[in-house]
Structure 1
Amino acid sequence: MSSALPIYLTDKMPVNYISEKAVLCFKDEAAYIVLEESESENLRRIQKAGRQLDNQGIKQLAPMGDGWDKERQWALSLGYTSTLSTNKVQWHEGDKAVTEQLQHMSDVYRFARELVNLSAEEIYPLSLAERVANHLTELAPEHVSYEIIKGDELKDAGWMGIYTVGRASQHIPAMLVVDYNPTGDANAPVESALIGKGITYDSGGYSIKPSEGMLSMKCDMGGAATVSGALSLAIRNGLNKRVKLFLCCAENMIDGRAYKLGDVITYKNGTTVEVVNTDAEGRLVLADGLQAAGEAGAKQVIDAATLTGAAQMAVGNEYNALFSIDDQAATKALNCAVQQGEALWRLPLASWHAENCPSAFADTANSRPQKGGGAGGASNAAGFLLRFAPNDGKGWLHFDLAGAYQKSATAMWPVGATAMGVRTIAATITD
């Protein structure tokens, strides 16, 4: 095995033939990252340097010298890890506690990224549920129990959103319910519920996507990967509260049994929903997860989903979007995002957004019959979910994961999953 390349931080370019705008240079069999005055810009420069080092085929890095705090090492790791690489950062030996935290984060992010990056042939509803259940059980076997409700069992249990969206696939739909209870009290209250959109492949259904739009749709279970990773990280960080995880897993496919435009779904709580767009399926499955969280009596409810292109249009791929009608809960999440170094931006949501997808045949439609759901599509999608949020939306947070997946490489990120949001959600349920 080759030795690791030493990498140093400096405030002055150590060679005079490199452009002053360069973030990285090499000298005396070592690499140097040139810093500036702004720490936020420094983290960006370090992550960019990690991408450049990965692209050059360097297999191991060893941060050396002064200045390598936790966030700087993490920025290097984020840029240095790509889809197929087995790259390794040898963490700086300055602080053993920091080294342990970084290794926890690295292990969790590799797990979450792999779930998203693997093909739909490998990650389908049941395999997603089983992988996550096994991962969490191995992590805390004495505190984790789980149930997988699948196929026609979903219909019998009243989880009609997941059942309806997934019934046309050869891979049966499933809901994973994980109970993490470290209290030792079987009657302990559920402090938080995490809900993840687990659409392992999204063809769009009869509202079929164009070919180029389908290429990356193995990533449509990014919400499930994010909340699973968040719970994994929180457990590693000593989470001592009871948390339930609900993954809403299905493939949105087409055959003679597929749900159609004009169909009306009757949910467990009696709400009726007219389908005006089968490609607005994520909110249909999340509605089941939100009702399940309500049944569990969770005080804090967080859902995460690669839900709308409208959120990406609003915040780009550099941020995740946050929706809530609970200002206190939203402020807490935004503060956690700042502390964890993740980009999160709150977009508008008011109670009246729940009325923005009217139907003449049901209580609501699942979208507007317009491309992208029309103006305010991300807020209207969140408004649909608000109908199913427990406690009239108090304590509820909806993450629309615009930054969860990169369709092409950038200076900061490789192609594929980013796992952005894992740290923020983990901190939000731990705090």
Structure 2
Amino acid sequence: MSVCFTTETSAAAVPISVVSQSGFSDWLAIQVPAIKEWLAATQFQAEAGNTRLIPDAHGKVARVICCVSDADPLWGTGGLPFILPEGVYKFDVTDAQYQQCALAWGLGAYQFTRYKKPQRQPAQLYLQSAWLDQINNLVDSIYLVRDCINTPADDMGPGEFAAVVEKLAAQYGAKLTQILGEALLEQNYASIYTVGRASDDPPRLLDFRWGSPAHPKVTLVGKGVCFDSGGLDLKPSSAMLLMKKDMGGAAHVLGLARMIMQSRLPVCLRVLIPVVENVIAGNAYRPGDIIKSRKGLTIEIGNTDAEGRVILADALTEAADEKPEVLIDISTLTGAARVALGTELPAVFSNHDQLVNDVIKQGEKKYDPMWRLPLFQAYREYLNSSIADINNNSTESYGGAITAALFLKEFVPDDIPWLHFDLMAWNSRPRPGRPAGAEAMVIRALFSYLENRYG
């Protein structure tokens, strides 16, 4: 159980009134004079995120007022664990609202403490035992994603990331296999091997399975570039500063897999994660090289900094061979998606309208947003090569997220329902419930969709 939660009831737990902006006037009208006068004296404004401590006659905190947005009520309580003094609190809301507020509380209590001691412990929230498993599953899985992404590449290279996967697989009784180094060539994963061969930490394909083969097949694929220098098409130093997060897609599918396994969802789960470092050495792959992919398509390397789609090509081909009911890949694939949608709104592409529409609806319900971009087939010609089946780099500087998705589409048959997410995996600014740094995006929506479909 997270340190920010307690299941021990206490008469001393301070109640928190959660009030919407639009409902504040009606709420205030029925309060006792002491609360009205205190809020007036402290000039409290009904604006999203505003919080006020109400003292008792002895100066101790008797109640907390927290105002939340009408448009996005989930996150309004996410800042409370570090705004409020240490102690135990409880929400004065309905059960459904309580669970929503508790999730935001848990996510807002996150601290990355591997290299730096926390300044303080978060305030604690009382949580009913009946809700504990569900809330902790989401919170702990998202903490796993954040921790993996926040950890720099010297402690989260391919080998260390593989150790995280191995530990998780063992925890849930999943079967893990690793294909490592030159064994990738021997087993026809040349795209993964070629991108990662210059690193002293060998490239690998992590493949783990969980659940009964009799259950519906759900396959997750995550981009695991533990550090991306750009290769011989070297990034400028400013663009490398956050490249520890280029394994964000791999961390996301790991977090989603944990949610599925912890809840014992009746699916046959497979997780495929190609893990590499894209660095420079004498044997680094070069612009102009030709790679024969697992599918048999030849890939001309137009840019060594478009490496994520290359390693995903072999993983998607392997995933498609088993024809899962749902195939989901998640990656920090393009800067173009950030230009189109900003850092806080992930892009989703799909070959299956019903699937993507249902997932988007779950995102709206769970305040886990995404935006669909088109697989605009006319742009496929930008990936043409005169000497190979496809180029990994578009000849046009526009529509980069779409051409990257079209590249991946070449490795996914049309009859397999497929979702491709291109996301930031990072908060560039702190917000309630979402501290600056690594972030898990879309996986709450995906888990809710899978739970509704198969649970």
TM-score by length of 2: 0.84
Partner AA of 1:170 in structure 2: D
> Does residue 394 of structure 1 match 2:423?
no
Q: Offset at 1:332?
A: 2.1
Q: Offset at 1:408?
A: 4.3
3-state SS in 2 of match to 1:244:
strand
- The answer to whether the Cα contact below 8 Å between 2:4 and 2:123 also exists between their aligned partners in 1 is no
Instruction: Structure 2 unaligned segments of length 5 or more: list them.
Output: 7-12, 20-27, 29-35
2:292 to 247, 250, 266: 266
1:312 to 316, 333, 338: 338
Alignment of 1:11-90 (within 5 A): 11=19, 12=28, 15-16=39-40, 17-20=42-45, 21=47, 23-28=50-55, 29-30=60-61, 32-35=64-67, 38=70, 40-47=71-78, 49-50=79-80, 53-54=81-82, 62-67=89-94, 68-84=97-113, 85=118, 87-88=121-122, 90=124
Partner AA of 1:116 in structure 2: I
Q: Offset at 1:134?
A: 1.5
3-state SS in 1 of match to 2:126:
coil
Distance 1:36 1:422, change over 3 A: closer
Distance 1:262 1:82, change over 3 A: same
1:202 to 206, 228, 240: 228
Distance 1:272 1:57, change over 3 A: farther
Partner AA of 1:425 in structure 2: L
Instruction: Structure 1 unaligned segments of length 5 or more: list them.
Output: none
Other-structure match for 2:400? 377
CA root-mean-square deviation: 2.6
- The answer to whether the Cα contact below 8 Å between 2:105 and 2:433 also exists between their aligned partners in 1 is no
Q: Offset at 1:9?
A: 2.1
Other-structure match for 1:327? 353
Other-structure match for 1:149? 179
Q: Offset at 1:111?
A: 1.4
Q: Offset at 1:260?
A: 0.9
Distance 1:416 1:392, change over 3 A: same
Q: Offset at 1:250?
A: 0.2
Other-structure match for 1:101? 134
The aligned length equals 413
Structure 2 distance, partners of 1:164, 1:280, is 13
- The answer to whether the Cα contact below 8 Å between 1:129 and 1:247 also exists between their aligned partners in 2 is no
Structure 1 distance, partners of 2:280, 2:369, is 36
Deviations 1:175-221 (A, max 9, x none): 1000112x2x5xx3661110000000011111111111111111111
Partner AA of 1:349 in structure 2: L
Structure 2 distance, partners of 1:427, 1:210, is 39
Structure 1 distance, partners of 2:433, 2:135, is 19
Other-structure match for 1:165? 195
Percent of pairs with identical residues? 30
Other-structure match for 2:162? 129
Other-structure match for 1:227? 253
Distance 1:32 1:248, change over 3 A: same
Structure 1 distance, partners of 2:125, 2:86, is 14
Partner AA of 1:69 in structure 2: Y
- The answer to whether the Cα contact below 8 Å between 1:323 and 1:398 also exists between their aligned partners in 2 is yes
Structure 2 distance, partners of 1:220, 1:59, is 36
Other-structure match for 2:372? 346
3-state SS in 1 of match to 2:165:
helix
Structure 2 distance, partners of 1:359, 1:2, is 55
Other-structure match for 1:414? 435
- The answer to whether the Cα contact below 8 Å between 2:382 and 2:395 also exists between their aligned partners in 1 is no
